[in-house]
Amino acid sequence: MTTTPTTSAAPLPSAVQERQRRAKLRRNMFYLALLAVGLVAPFVAYPVFLMKILCFALFACAFNLLLGYAGLLSFGHAAFLATGGYVTGYLLASYPGLTPELGILAGTFMATLLGALFGVLSIRRQGIYFAMVTLALAQLMFFVFVQSSFTGGEDGLHGVPRGHLFGMIDLSSNLAMYYFVFAVFVFGFAVIQRAVHSPFGQVLKAIRENEPRAVSLGYNVDAYKLLAFVLSAALAGLAGSTKTVVFQLASLTDAHWHMSGEVILMTLLGGVGTLLGPLMGAGLVVSLQHLLAQSPLGNWVSVILGIIFVVCVLSFRSGIIGELSKMYRKNFK
């Protein structure tokens, strides 16, 4: 932390230090409470549903790293989710001896590679062009998945075995599977939390706020953007790989541009640039889809998501967590 340009080397006044220490303590207590909730949750709610939320939450957190902290709106994150999912699904289905964690690693690795490729191409353009380039590249991947034989084309991959974690723990039990997914999510979240609060994260924020300024301060802006892009793609791939193991299938739904839109909505609804926002947004969107699917409004899901999108953009831009923390700051400080 001491290497950030914003914190000077001079010792801070002790009152400020004390306040920071207490804020950190509060934050840690909060995370511990969340961890406890996560550990107890499968005994209260249906584990498969919770796993779905966790997978999408990780996906949204990865997306948020890019939009919320580097200010880059990617409209093609579905490509990474799908790549992770397809590679893991294909490997686990074709090589029965392969353990799930290796399959997930391989899927994540391929998504990371794809992220590096997309990143190099897309950071050549800024702003809305960046969004259009990522969307077009993801559509290219969509057609690749449709035409390739290893993805099963329109049918997708079915019956991917969950297998035994490390060759020992049987994941066919939903409870074991849940704790594995929970561990993956906590790992991903910790990586993002660490990245955001590191000097790297500070530079990303500087680029988001004023790119020419960051350049003039001597930062290699493209390298920072690329690293953020690759990290985000890797975690999105991890989410996709894990999702494939949980649901034992990989399909074109994950590669479609609707999916790229959904992850934007989750992040926007929860709060762009907040750590917990994507978790909250993913929880809400997945629950909403779940509820609507069983109601007479089942066919109207995409219309309702569209309406939420419009309402969010018009009057709710900080998202739920963002608005809450604004309120908190106004009333308690």
Question: Which residues in the 31-60 window bind other proteins by CB under 8 A?
Answer: none
Among 22, 124, 197, 290, binds other proteins (CB under 8 A): 124
> Is 113 among the residues that bind other proteins (CB under 8 A)?
no
Q: Are 123 and 222 in contact (CB under 8 A)?
A: yes
> Is 137 among the residues that bind other proteins (CB under 8 A)?
yes
Q: Which stretch binds other proteins (CB under 8 A): 164-172, 214-222, 234-242, 310-318?
A: 310-318
Among 23, 25, 37, 310, binds other proteins (CB under 8 A): 310
> Is 147 among the residues that bind other proteins (CB under 8 A)?
yes
Two tokens, residue 270: 């929860």
Q: What is the nearest approach in angstroms of other proteins to the Cβ of residue 85?
A: 20
d(CA 116, CA 234): 9
Q: What is the largest CA-CA distance in the chain?
A: 64
Buried b vs exposed e over 8-43: b needs ≥16 C-beta within 10 Å?
eeeeeeeeeeeeeeeeeeeeeeebeeeeeebeebbe
d(CA 269, CA 310): 11
Q: Which stretch binds other proteins (CB under 8 A): 6-14, 20-28, 285-293, 306-314?
A: 306-314
Q: What is the nearest approach in angstroms of other proteins to the Cβ of residue 299?
A: 5
Helical H runs in the chain? 14-40, 47-64, 70, 78-94, 100-122, 127-147, 174-196, 199-209, 211-216, 221-247, 257-270, 277-294, 301-315, 319-332
Give the nearer residue to other proteins in terms of CB position, either 194 or 317.
Answer: 317
Give the nearer residue to other proteins in terms of CB position, either 197 or 213.
Answer: 213
Place of tokens 């990143």: 119
Q: What is the nearest approach in angstroms of other proteins to the Cβ of residue 218?
A: 20
d(CA 229, CA 62): 9
Site of interaction with other proteins (CB under 8 A): 73, 121-122, 124-125, 127-129, 131-133, 135-137, 139-140, 143-144, 146-147, 257, 261, 264, 268, 299-303, 305-310, 312-314, 317
